[in-house]
Every structure is written in structure tokens, then in C-alpha cells.
Amino acid sequence: MNCRVMLKSVFRCLRTNPVAGHRSMSQSSLAGKVAIVTASTDGIGLAAAQALGKRGAHVVVSSRWQTNVDKAVALLQSQSIQVTGTTCNVGKGEDREKLVQMTLEKCGGIDILVSNAAVNPFFGNIMESTEEVWDKILSVNVKASFLMTKLVVPHMAKRGGGNVVFVSSVAGYQPMQALGPYSVSKTALLGLTRALAPELAQDNIRVNCVAPGVIKTRFSSALWQNEDIMDDFKRQLSIKRVGEPEEIGGVIAFLCSEEASYITGETITVTGGIGCRL
């Protein structure tokens, strides 16, 4: 077969089987799956719920405030996404249990947990941080992430497996100035991912993590609205702009899909090119 005939055969294959030339995540790749996304009424959490929902998952969104839940549910429903919403403060054990129980009652099971909830009540010199600050940050950002996982794992195992995705931060690799305790909590999530992955693999549950860079959300507005901070960040960036929540949501959806079936215990950094290494 000469080169010209070979090329014709290749192009004919691409026309009749476009997947061979362009592999994309199916819009129904998560059909039948149930996904809990914590802190999911705006920012990265909402973007994750949208990405999962657009791929067919029934998403369960939550926030501490009912008005935020109502707005998010209305938005997702307007996008033809199956959604259930409830209030939840993940720092409270009774709220975590209520979230899981409501999901089981209304959706019949749990396949995916995206642990996105985080707090940062402190901004300043780390040596000025108090015990109360550390207790609050570690309780919500780390301990609640583990305890939510512990609650959902038995229900994932009953359905033959599942996916857990923790949302860390570039600060977990390189602590940000004035965000010392928060940065430490995000480093802890990298370790939690590695610790859980081998234990949960036996139940066909994959555990991964996403570490976003500076993303244009309300939570990180103190960073991206500060020109001096952003000028310093942009010097480290290959892609010279702030990231968008949807760029994180898509990575989370990928990690929960069959396309990522051989990935566990990993952290994907989505930073615009900032070097990330512990």
C-alpha cells in the first residue's frame, strides 16, 4: 500500500469513527451515578457540580445557607441537570450524617464524593495565628474531609466502587504568604489522598486530589483582586491569567470518569504552569 492510499484509509476511518480522531468525555459518561459535592453553591464546588451533572450524574449540592442552596439548585435545573440540594456545615458531625442520609433516601446510593469545603479565618504572620485558628482550619479542611469519606465509603462499596476527590491548592505545595495555617491544611490533603488510596482500592474506590492555582472565585478574591500579589504570581505562570472555576470542574469530572480508571492516589495540579513539588 503506497502512502497516498494509506492516508485515504486513515481519513476514511476518521470520518466513519470520529472517536478515533477525537476522544472526548461522553456527555452521559456518569449516567446513573450519584455525586455529593460539598460547598457547592458557587466557585469551584458549583463548577464541579455542573461538570458532573452535564455528564449525567445526579448531583447533591450543599451550603451552610438555604438561600445559596436554592439559587444553585435553580441554576443547575435550568441546565437540565438532576440535582438535590440541602444545607450542610461539614464541620458538624450531625450535618455530615444528615447530608449522607438525605442522599441515600432521595437518590438511592452514593458513587462520588467531591470534598471541596474549606475555611480560612486567618490572614497574617503564621506566628500570630492562634490555637482557635488552627482548630477551625484543620477541623473543616482536613478532619471533615476524612470523616465525610468515612461516611460514604460503605455506601460506595455496596454499589461496587466509587470515587473520592479532595480539593487541595497550589498552597499545599508552596505555602502562600499570610496563609500559613490554610496552606498547611492543604498539604495535609495531599497526604490524606496517598494514605486512603491503597486502603480503598480493595473496594474499587479511587481516591484522588486536585490542587488548583489562583482561580477566579469569591473565596480567593483577596488574591486575584490584589495587583501586587497577582504580579508576583504571573511571573511564575506559563499561562498568564487567573484560572476559571470550570477549568477545575472539568478535571474533577475526568477523575470521576472511566477515562481515569487507572488513576488513584494522585494529585493533579491545575495551576497555569506554576511548578509544584514537595
Residues assigned a catalytic role: 182
- The pair phi, psi for residue 191, each rounded to 5°, is -70, -40
Cell 494529585 locates to 267
Are the CB atoms for 212 and 44 separated by under 8 Å? yes
Q: 226 by DSSP, 3-state: which?
A: coil
Nearest to 53, CA basis, from 67, 69, 42, 37: 37
Q: 158 by DSSP, 3-state: which?
A: helix
Distance CA 60, CA 85 (A): 6
Distance CA 242, CA 223 (A): 10
Are the CB atoms for 95 and 39 separated by under 8 Å? no
Amino acid in position 211? A
